[in-house]
Structure formats: C-alpha cells, structure tokens
C-alpha cells in the first residue's frame, strides 16, 4: 500500500466502490485523451481468451478527470470490467518522457496494490488497434503461469529502440546474465509480489532523495529473484524524437541503470555469461521495404565531432588513454568509413558505469557528456546496417551483446581495482 497516500481522494472513493479485481490494466496515452470506451470490446476479448474469467479495472489517462463516476457510454462497464479515469502525471513538460512514463507506472502500481490485483498490465506504446492482443500476451503468463514479470519484445526495426540496442539490452544481459530484450519496457505485465516490491523500492529511493527516478524494472526483478519471461508483442508506436532533449533522456535512463549496477555489485560480480528467459509469442521480423530508410549521417556525426573537439578533457577523466586514442582514430576517418568498434564501445560504457560509481565528475555532467559518444555509435551502426536485411541486423546486434559479455572481465577488474593503471 505504499502509494495509497498519493492517490487523489476521488479516485480512492471510486476504488472503494469498485471492490477487488484480479487485474489492473493501465493505458498510458501519451497524447492525452483517447477514446477508451472503444477499446472495451477489445479488452473483453483479450480477457476472454484466459482460461478463467477475471475481474478487471482499466485505468486510463484522462487529464480532465472530473469528480464522480466516469461518463461512459451505456454498456461499456459491467461486473467484470470497470473503468477508472485517472489524471496520470504523464504530460509534465518539465520532465523527460522516460520520467513521465515512470511516474505513470508508479501511479498504476499504486492502484493495483491498493485493490489487491493479482496482475497489473501497463501499456505505453501499443497502437490502439492491437492493444487487446498485447493485454492478453502480457497478462496470461502472470495469471496462468505464475510469472512475476512479462517483458516485451517488439518487431526489431533497425533504427528503433537504439538506446536499448546500444546500451540497455547488452549491458543488462552482460551484467545481470539474463537475456531480457527490453529490460526497461515500457510495456509490461507485473505480478502482485513484484508490484509491491517495486513500490517499496520506490519509497526507499524517495527517502534518499531519488524520487521520480526511472526504475529499471528488468534488473530489479532479476536481482530480487522474481520469475521473468518475455513475450513478442509486434509493432510498437513511437513518440517523435526530441533531439534537443536527447542528453536529458540519456541521463534520465542511464542514471538509474548505473545506480542499480552499483547497488547490485555483490549480485552480478559472480555471474558469468548469460541465459535466455522463457519467451512467448511469434517472433516477427520487419518487412524489407520498411527497413530501407534514408538518414542524414552528418546529423549524427557532427555532434560526435564537436564533442570530440570540446569534451575530450572531460572524457579523459573517464576513459583510459587507449580508448581516447581509438576515438581519435575514429574521429579522423572519412564520414563514410566512420566506425566505433564493439570492443571500444563496450569499454566506453563500462568506464562510464565505473566513473558513475566513483563520482569521477558530477554524475549529471558525466551522463550528459556521453551524448556525443552515443550519437557517434548510432552513426557507426547506421552506416554498418544501412543496407542490411533484418536478419543481418539481428546478427550484428548479437555480436555487440557478445562483445559486452566478453568485456565483462574488464568491468570486473576495473570495478575491483579502479586505481590500477589501465592503458
């Protein structure tokens, strides 16, 4: 019940009249509004596919939520399906999209825990027409196979989810030893035990002044020994890229990730290699014509070149001389031949994780100083996979993950003996 205090009074009253439910479904519509009533049939179909009938509460974001029962069309609600409009804190312009999503997750976990639901499904990036199949895919392993966390797998477009492909997935896989393709979701199915654990962790973080931080759900579940699986969902919907705010996005996502790596060091130092987690659903690759997209290379390379010219002194505090030398070599290459080798990228990420732990420079400065390096990696990757087909891209990303796993002894060595000379 950690979050009950933050739930508005009118929502609490509505929750009391609703009574218990088996599942809470949170729909985070980032654009606000949305015709939730039209999805009711889809949700009924999704829940009808389960072996037992379940009572569900659908929490949907309605920024203009008015007091009293929601004004829904006749017949939308019944004993098995109730709607709860709730003004989710998803549209605050002062925080990043990742933090907005995290806040919305937090609010829905609070509701789920309050009404004692066995499962909680949160959809953040589901296109409206497929939301019902996603709900079924995320709820079924929790309700019928006793999993605690169902992570999503999406159709792997070569230029989508790049922060996940470049850092989050390979890092989680190498450090925590579980192949969870999207460790930070954002679409998840949660079991009740995990929801409670996440709320407790969140409350503990708030006490040390880290409120509103993004919780790396995948790593948290792995470290606490929860049963984790993943399911193929299909195409996801993306919000437009905010290029001017990319450094805030990187800082907002990687900060909590590095913090967890620091906290969980006793757990992951003994892990060697990685293992697959149970995966459900049909794995689909994107259609060929969808992958032939043009991009502006200079838009990625210019920030890297500018960063190399101006931030070298800051990078030198974090990276060993050998890495700087290799970056210098990459910097001198003609744009079409620009490459950041996997081994170098792996070491860069590990060195930044270590510098985060050692507070070599201010943590916010450190994470933001990574942005040009990240865009450099994106440029290198984009050049490499530009003409590749989907299967080739998957192999390419698998090579990167292997490089992260092979590089783990380097992380361990630097983690244990950070003062040792490292060329």
Partner 1 sequence: MWIEIQQALNQSTGRVITEIANLLPGIVALIVAMLVAGILAWIVAFLLRRSLRKIHFDERMTSWGFHSVNEWSPAHTPAVLFTRSVTWVILLIGFLIGISAFNVTLTSQLVERLFTYIPHVFAALILLFVGNLVARFLSRSVLIGAVNMNLQYARLLSAGVKWMVLVVTLAMALDHLAIGGRIVYLAFAILFGGIVLALSLAVGLGSKDIISRSLQREASRSSEEIESPFRHL
* Residues near partner 1, by CB under 8 A: 97-98, 157, 159-164, 186, 238, 240-244, 246-247, 249, 253, 293-296, 299-300, 302-303, 306-307, 309-311, 313-314, 317, 360-362, 365, 368-369, 371-372, 378, 382
Closer to partner 1 by Cβ: residue 69 or 234:
234
Q: From the CB of 365, what's the least distance to partner 1, in Å? A: 6
Q: From the CB of 399, what's the least distance to partner 1, in Å? A: 20
Before 342, cis peptide (omega within 30)?
no
Q: From the CB of 113, what's the least distance to partner 1, in Å? A: 26
Length of the chain (residues): 423
Q: Using only C-alpha atoms, what is the Rg of the chain?
A: 22
- HEC per residue, 235-277: CCCCCCCCHHHHHHHHHHHHHHHHHHHHHCHHHHCCCCCCEEC
Closer to partner 1 by Cβ: residue 97 or 117:
97
Alpha carbon 231 to chain centroid, angstroms: 15
CA distance 242 to 333: 28
Closer to partner 1 by Cβ: residue 90 or 378:
378
Number of neighbours of residue 79 by Cβ within 10 angstroms: 8
Three-class secondary structure of residue 420 per DSSP: coil
Closest CA to 233 of 331, 153, 151, 148: 153
Q: From the CB of 419, what's the least distance to partner 1, in Å? A: 8
Q: In Å, what is the CA distance from 355 to each residue of 159, 227, 347, 349, 358?
A: 29, 32, 12, 10, 5
Answer whether 393's CB lies under 8 Å from 288's CB.
Answer: no
Q: From the CB of 308, what's the least distance to partner 1, in Å? A: 10
What six digits make up the tokens of 269?
């130092």
Dihedral sign of CA atoms 33, 121, 260, 240 in order: negative
Closer to partner 1 by Cβ: residue 45 or 298:
298
Q: From the CB of 94, what's the least distance to partner 1, in Å? A: 16
Closer to partner 1 by Cβ: residue 206 or 311:
311
Closer to partner 1 by Cβ: residue 18 or 246:
246
Answer whether 45's CB lies under 8 Å from 132's CB.
Answer: yes
Q: From the CB of 186, what's the least distance to partner 1, in Å? A: 8
Closer to partner 1 by Cβ: residue 37 or 311:
311
């Amino acid at each position: 019940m950690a979050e009950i205090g933050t739930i508005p009074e009118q929502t609490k009253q509505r929750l009391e009249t609703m009574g218990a439910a088996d599942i809470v479904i949170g729909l985070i519509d980032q654009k606000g509004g949305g015709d939730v009533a039209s999805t009711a049939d889809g949700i009924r179909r999704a829940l009808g596919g389960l072996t037992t009938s379940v009572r569900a509460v659908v929490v949907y974001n309605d920024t203009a939520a008015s007091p009293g029962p929601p004004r829904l069309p006749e017949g939308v609600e019944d004993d098995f399906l109730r709607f709860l409009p709730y003004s989710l804190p998803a549209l605050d312009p002062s925080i990043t999209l990742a933090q907005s999503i995290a806040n919305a997750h937090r609010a829905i976990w609070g509701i789920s825990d309050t009404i004692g639901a066995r499962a909680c499904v949160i959809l953040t990036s589901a296109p409206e027409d497929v939301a019902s199949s996603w709900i079924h895919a995320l709820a079924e392993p929790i309700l019928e196979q006793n999993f605690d966390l169902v992570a999503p797998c999406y159709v792997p477009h070569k230029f989508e989810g790049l922060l996940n492909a470049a850092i989050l997935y390979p890092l989680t896989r190498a450090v925590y030893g579980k192949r969870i393709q999207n460790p930070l979701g954002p679409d998840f199915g949660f079991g009740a035990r995990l929801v409670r654990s996440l709320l407790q962790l969140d409350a503990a973080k708030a006490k040390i002044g880290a409120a509103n931080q993004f919780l790396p759900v995948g790593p948290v579940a792995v470290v606490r020994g929860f049963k984790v699986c993943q399911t193929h969902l299909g195409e996801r919907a993306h919000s437009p890229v905010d290029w001017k705010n990319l450094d805030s996005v990187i800082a907002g996502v990687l900060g909590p990730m590095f913090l967890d790596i620091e906290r969980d060091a006793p757990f992951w130092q003994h892990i060697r290699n990685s293992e697959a987690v149970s995966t459900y659903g049909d794995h689909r690759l994107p259609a060929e014509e969808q992958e032939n997209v043009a991009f502006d290379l200079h838009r990625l390379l210019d920030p890297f070149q500018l960063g190399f010219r101006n931030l070298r002194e800051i990078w030198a505090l974090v990276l060993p001389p050998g890495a700087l030398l290799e970056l210098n070599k990459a910097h001198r290459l003609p744009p079409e031949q620009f490459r950041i080798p996997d081994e170098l990228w792996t070491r860069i990420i590990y060195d930044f994780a270590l510098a985060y732990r050692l507070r070599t420079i201010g943590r916010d400065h450190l994470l933001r100083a990574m942005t040009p390096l990240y865009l450099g990696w994106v440029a290198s990757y984009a050049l490499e996979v530009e003409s590749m087909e989907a299967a080739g891209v998957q192999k390419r990303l698998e090579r990167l993950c292997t490089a992260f796993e092979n590089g783990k002894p380097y992380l361990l060595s630097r983690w244990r003996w950070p003062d040792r000379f490292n060329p």
